Amino acid sequence: MSRSASSRPSPLTRARGRRRLFLALALAVPLLVLALWIAVNTIPWLGPIVADGLRAVIGKEAVTKLEDIAYAVQDRFYQYTRKGEKPKAYWAVPEPVESVIEQVAEPLVDAGDGGPNAVPEVRPVFRPSDVGPVHESWSAPGDGQWVPVEVPDLPGLKPHMYKTLLHPDKNRSWAEVFVVALDIPRIDLHLVAGSREPRATVAEALEVERPGVIPEYHHDQVLAAFNGGLKTEHGQYGMRIGETTFVAPRSGVCSVAAFHDGSVRVATWERVAEQQPEMKFWRQTPNCMYEDGELHPKLQAGSEKKWGATLDGETVIRRSAIGVDASGETLFVGISNHTTAVAIATALHHAGAEAVAQLDVNFSYPKFVLYEKGSKAERQAIALASGFEFSEDEYIRKTARRDFFYVTPKTAPPPASEVVVPSQASDAAAE
């Protein structure tokens, strides 16, 4: 039996119901978007899944613009809620100490018999010169002062790494750049291909096994590890490890190159391309932020599109960068919170880098971890600073989907070969 006309809702009642529904949706959608944004920026594995899923539906460019808009909204929110907040320190800074002289075992001059008459090399203990804050009136205690990074389970090791904190953005006290300085003559830098990225575009790399972890022969000696560069689809930046080229090199972009003699260079590709036979690896990045001590002209002009900004203006995101000083003896690695491209470039240059290249960006990827023995007598990752997402097995047992760098002391036993050897392709490597 149908309802009588008198029991049906009136047009006014139906209109009110639709307004309530629209109002509920108007409130629910922003709240859902906000909840998703908080989750993406809190749960490390969620961000890549959401971004990759959206790229498959609406395209790469649309997702990049959405990310830019979301980061802009977040930045405005912080500028409103954190206005007047002072920069903060993350660790205690000891009083500066004078550099001392260390006797190094390798002979510097051979007296003729290569025996006891060989002259030992005399080298100052590594300690970068304090640089002070980027802005004197806008800094935290200890900004620009170098603090030694100890490796607790390698107590006899001289300091190979120092850390400092910088606040390069006068408009954002929460824009923090954590910088690590490493002594290139006393460390070896290694590059590992991620299990999926960079996605290989060269035939010789399609059947390469890619476990995406630090090799076991270096587990007891690894000092630190940090993220690599961008995904292949985000710029087609090249990479080669040993004799295997994963992605062909691009012209005009920046490159991080490690050589068999232990040296490291950060330079535009054309300036190092002819030295490929001398390299143990190279990894390309967006254009050099600094080169020969000069900020890239586009960054000087306020354009950051090459370094993670698709819209006009600045993009304030988590970033990472790598640099080398003018002498070629100090490597700098920086990870940041809420910085523009100019801010992180300025921080690394202020710390001492003459050449600077940006590495990966966004919430989940930039990280710098140290290693020490845990409760299971296995070495495990520890954070350089609080607030950066990582697991105890980061890079050492947990498979990394993206490429990364790691550091060992020069005293670490070298592997038989660092060449990536072709083998049967796994499903992950083929994707």
Angle CA 202–203–207, to nearest 5: 115
Mean pLDDT across 298-325? 78
Give SS3 for 157: coil
Q: State residue 334's pLDDT score.
A: 98
Question: What span, in angstroms and rounded, lies between the C-alpha atoms of 236 and 365?
Answer: 18
Candidate from 21-25, 301-305, 314-318, 415-419 with smallest mean pLDDT: 415-419
Identify whether the C-beta of residue 165 lies closer than 8 Å to the C-beta of residue 337: no
> Which of 300, 324, 318 has the alpha carbon at shortest distance from 388?
318
Q: Is pLDDT at 424 greater than 60 in this prediction?
A: no
Residue 303: pLDDT band (50, 70, 90) is confident
Q: Is pLDDT at 280 greater than 70 in this prediction?
A: yes
Q: What is the pLDDT of residues 152-188, one digit of tens each?
A: 777 767 778 999 999 999 989 999 999 999 999 999 9
CA-to-CA separations, 268 to 284, 300, 340, in angstroms, rounded: 9, 18, 21
Mean pLDDT across 367-386? 89
Mean pLDDT, the chain, rounded, equals 80
Residue 375: pLDDT band (50, 70, 90) is confident
Share of the chain above pLDDT 70, in %: 68
CA-to-CA separations, 392 to 60, 68, 163, 241, 282, in angstroms, rounded: 32, 31, 21, 26, 28
Mean pLDDT across 278-301? 96
The DSSP secondary-structure symbol of 413 reads P
Question: What span, in angstroms and rounded, lies between the C-alpha atoms of 337 and 310?
Answer: 19
Mean pLDDT across 10-32? 61
Q: State residue 93's pLDDT score.
A: 82
Residue 22: pLDDT band (50, 70, 90) is low
Q: What is the pLDDT of residues 225-235, one digit of tens each?
A: 999 999 999 89
Residue 315: pLDDT band (50, 70, 90) is confident
Mean pLDDT across 116-136? 77
Buried (b) or exposed (e) across 304-342, using 16+ Cβ within 10 A? bebbbbeeeebbbbbbbbbbbbeeeebbbbbbbbbbbbb
DSSP assignment string, 247-287: EPPPTTSEEEEEETTS-EEEEEHHHHGGGGGGEEEEEEESS
Share of the chain above pLDDT 90, in %: 53
Mean pLDDT across 353-371? 93
Q: Is pLDDT at 326 greater than 50 in this prediction?
A: yes
Q: State residue 416's pLDDT score.
A: 47
Q: State residue 304's pLDDT score.
A: 73
Q: What is the pLDDT of residues 47-99, one digit of tens each?
A: 555 555 555 555 556 555 666 666 667 667 776 777 778 899 998 887 755 54
HSE of 31, CA atoms in CB hemisphere, 13 A: 6
Most confident of 3-17, 23-37, 304-318: 304-318
Tokens of 69: 């808009």
Residue 401: pLDDT band (50, 70, 90) is very high
Count other Cβ atoms within 10 Å, centred on residue 298.
15
Q: What is the pLDDT of residues 256-269, one digit of tens each?
A: 999 999 999 999 99
Q: State residue 311's pLDDT score.
A: 40
Angle CA 314–319–325, to nearest 5: 105
Q: State residue 15's pLDDT score.
A: 64
Q: Is pLDDT at 290 greater than 50 in this prediction?
A: yes
Question: What span, in angstroms and rounded, lies between the C-alpha atoms of 107 and 119?
Answer: 5
Q: State residue 388's pLDDT score.
A: 78
On whether the pTM is more than 0.75, the answer is: yes
Q: Is pLDDT at 190 greater than 90 in this prediction?
A: yes
With tokens 């290249």, the residue in question is 357
Q: State residue 307's pLDDT score.
A: 78
Q: Is pLDDT at 21 greater than 90 in this prediction?
A: no
Give SS3 for 49: helix
Question: What span, in angstroms and rounded, lies between the C-alpha atoms of 393 and 398?
Answer: 5
